[in-house]
Amino acid sequence: MTDTPLERCVSIGDVRRLAKRRVPLPFFDLIDGGSGNEVTLRKNEAAFEQIELFPHYARDVSQITTKTKVLGAELDFPFILAPTGAQGMVHPDAEIAPAKAASEAGIMYSLSTFAMTSIEQLADVCSGSKMFQLYALTDEYTTTEMIERAKAANYDALCITVDSPVNAGLERVDRWGLNAAVGIPPLGTIFEILRKPVWLWTQRGVFQNRLPDVAKRIADRGGEIGPDFFDRIIRKDLTWDHVSEIAKRWDGPLAIKGILRPDDAQRAIDAGASCIIVCNHGGTNLDGTPASISVLEDIVATVDKHTEVIQCGGIRRGNSIAKAIGLGATATMAGRPFLYGLAAAGQAGVARTIDILRKEFEIAMKLCGATRISQLPSNVGNIHIEDEKDRQSRHVEKTASNVLKADF
Ligand SMILES: Cc1cc2nc3c(=O)[nH]c(=O)nc-3n(C[C@H](O)[C@H](O)[C@H](O)COP(=O)(O)O)c2cc1C
């Protein structure tokens, strides 16, 4: 038996368990935890279980295509790696490894404002499609500069995250004493970290990284980087007018991330968005929001047929991707699944994560009797025999326009 532990991972749950074994618990909790009671975090995943798939059988599924187009970029299947900050906290290859894995898999990578790799360094290694995620900062000069730098480095799209005027914090991480206020952690935390000497050795030097696009840039210009840096740096007075100004400056495919209400989706479109990312930040900001998948259909029903919708949060299975597409999403996005892969085994771990989800998605499509993603809307929902025809016509009408325009 020569299989490596990574090769023995057959589900995202397995990859998560491997990550937990490889990375000290305080750092695992940093990627795994949610805010408050973690109600939203749990709901995001659980809500997918309530959605049923209704297969069509005896259809020729010997040839299927999972290709799609979103934000002007072609994807081999409707899945995007979500922006997540400071990926180097779990693996020294930080953002470089997932970006390479995404390019090789033919999907899009999203670089966070709080990445440990700069906009330009990432562009150099990412041969596939890429999106830059922007937090509007109190330092307007740095915000504008990031937009211009992303444009110059040929990012396919910009994504403005609007759901985090404050950092809710993760209690699991606070208990370990690992927050932005860097100091000497408590003894128990040091003990946990020392239990993973191989990880600690590979991480040497990583923690000196100053977040090149923000902290380092601001410090270089004489700005103050204090312990409450994260909370001070994000603009709390952001309005749709500011979003509209950013949209004009960017002047390209623009996604607004963190939308949970149809009225906010409309405001985002009015401000210049071409894509809505339905998302509650993976249950890491306001605990108590609905699962993102449970509000997707209402948002799809509100937006015009030119607006794309990305479903973000709670995806741990390929059939969840099928469900989201079936409910009208143009594509899907996930954070933790690939962070587990990164923590478990760097680029190979991320590649494994993508591969698992892609294979599960293809199986789900074939078992649904769908040869193209635009057919999935006819597979989702509560079909009662007596009103099936009516339900299908309503549902397909509402959702297919959104998926169809992205389907090859
Ligand atoms: C550790 C971590 C860091 C994150 N950092 C960012 C970020 O910098 N910018 C952002 O827009 N979203 C960020 N998010 C939210 C993700 O983009 C995404 O919405 C979330 O992970 C989706 O939920 P999932 O993990 O269940 O897929 C982060 C999420 C996690 C777990």
For 27-61, what is each residue's pLDDT tens digit? Answer: 999 999 999 999 999 999 999 999 999 999 999 99
Average pLDDT, the chain: 91
70 strand-pairing partners: 73
Which residue lies with its CA nearest to atom 6 of ligand 1?
Answer: 84
pLDDT of 85 over the 60 cut: yes
User: Is the CB–ligand 1 distance for residue 312 below 6 Å?
Assistant: yes
Residue 214 CA neighbour count, 13 Å, CB half: 24
Q: Which of 95, 284, 332, 354, when mutated, tests ligand 1's pocket best, judged by the most ligand atoms within 8 Å of its CB?
A: 284
61 alpha carbon – ligand 1 mean position (Å): 35
pLDDT of 390 over the 70 cut: no
User: Which residue ranges form the domains of the chain, and what is each CATH number?
Assistant: 12-404 (3.20.20.70)
Ligand 1 atom at minimum distance from 110 CA:
17
383 alpha carbon – ligand 1 mean position (Å): 33
pLDDT of 405 over the 50 cut: no
Amino acid 227: pLDDT: 64
Amino acid 166: pLDDT: 92
Alpha-carbon distance 95 to 367, whole Å? 35
Percent of the chain with pLDDT over 70: 91
> Which amino acid appears at position 343 of this protein?
A
**b/e per residue 359-393 (b: at least 16 CB within 10 A):** ebbbebbebbbbbbbbbbbbbbbebeeeeeeeebe
Spatial neighbors of 300 by CB under 8 A, at least 6 apart, are 309, 327, 328, 329, 398, 399, 402
Other Cβ atoms closer than 10 A to 89 = 22
1-5, 84-88, 232-236, 278-282: segment of lowest average pLDDT: 1-5
Tokens of 344: 């478990």
Which residue lies with its CA nearest to atom 19 of ligand 1?
Answer: 281
Amino acid 179: pLDDT: 64
Predicted TM-score (pTM) of the model is 0.93
CA-closest candidate to residue 31, choices 20, 18, 42, 21: 20
Q: Which of 281, 286, 354, when mutated, tests ligand 1's pocket best, judged by the most ligand atoms within 8 Å of its CB?
A: 281
From residue 234, alpha-carbon distances to 114, 116, 126, 214, 228 in Å are 11, 17, 27, 11, 11
User: Is the CB–ligand 1 distance for residue 83 below 6 Å?
Assistant: yes
Beta strands 157-161 and 79-81, pairing class: unpaired
User: Is the CB–ligand 1 distance for residue 375 below 6 Å?
Assistant: no
Q: Is 252 left (phi over 0), alpha (psi -120 to 50) or beta?
A: beta
Other Cβ atoms closer than 10 A to 237 = 8
User: Is the CB–ligand 1 distance for residue 313 below 6 Å?
Assistant: yes
pLDDT of 393 over the 90 cut: no
- Rounded mean pLDDT of 153-176? 95
For residue 194, with 0-12 CB atoms within 10 Å meaning exposed, 13-18 middle and 19 or more buried, which class applies? exposed
95 alpha carbon – ligand 1 mean position (Å): 13
Which residue lies with its CA nearest to atom 2 of ligand 1?
Answer: 84
Amino acid 406: pLDDT: 47
Amino acid 140: pLDDT: 92
Percent of the chain with pLDDT over 90: 81
User: Is the CB–ligand 1 distance for residue 335 below 6 Å?
Assistant: yes
For residue 292, with 0-12 CB atoms within 10 Å meaning exposed, 13-18 middle and 19 or more buried, which class applies? buried
Q: Read off the pLDDT of residues 176-233 as tens digits, 9 standing for 90 and up.
A: 987 655 568 899 999 999 999 999 999 988 877 778 888 877 777 777 666 677 778 8
| Catalytic (active-site) positions | 281
First to last CA, the chain: 42
Q: Read off the pLDDT of residues 253-269 as tens digits, 9 standing for 90 and up.
A: 999 999 999 999 999 99
Other Cβ atoms closer than 10 A to 17 = 15
Which residue lies with its CA nearest to atom 21 of ligand 1?
Answer: 335
Helix (H) or strand (E) holding 167, with range, is none
66-75, 288-297, 392-401: segment of lowest average pLDDT: 392-401
Q: Read off the pLDDT of residues 349-386 as tens digits, 9 standing for 90 and up.
A: 999 999 999 999 999 999 999 999 999 999 997 554 44
pLDDT of 283 over the 70 cut: yes
Amino acid 225: pLDDT: 66
Which residue lies with its CA nearest to atom 1 of ligand 1?
Answer: 31
Which residue lies with its CA nearest to atom 4 of ligand 1?
Answer: 84
Amino acid 116: pLDDT: 94
Which residue lies with its CA nearest to atom 29 of ligand 1?
Answer: 84
- Rounded mean pLDDT of 390-405? 53
- Rounded mean pLDDT of 111-132? 97
User: Is the CB–ligand 1 distance for residue 116 below 6 Å?
Assistant: no
Which of residues 130 and 385 earns the better pLDDT score?
130
Which residue lies with its CA nearest to atom 10 of ligand 1?
Answer: 83
What's the gap between Cα 140 and its chain centre? 25
**b/e per residue 151-182 (b: at least 16 CB within 10 A):** bebebbbbbbbbbbeebebbbbbeebbbbeee
pLDDT of 401 over the 80 cut: no
Q: Which of 84, 166, 259, when mutated, tests ligand 1's pocket best, judged by the most ligand atoms within 8 Å of its CB?
A: 84
381 alpha carbon – ligand 1 mean position (Å): 28
2 alpha carbon – ligand 1 mean position (Å): 35
Split at pLDDT 50, 70, 90, the class of 90 is very high
Using an 8 Å Cβ cutoff, are 102 and 354 in contact? Answer: yes
Ligand 1 atom at minimum distance from 163 CA:
11
Ligand 1 atom at minimum distance from 277 CA:
19
Using an 8 Å Cβ cutoff, are 90 and 19 in contact? Answer: yes
pLDDT of 398 over the 90 cut: no
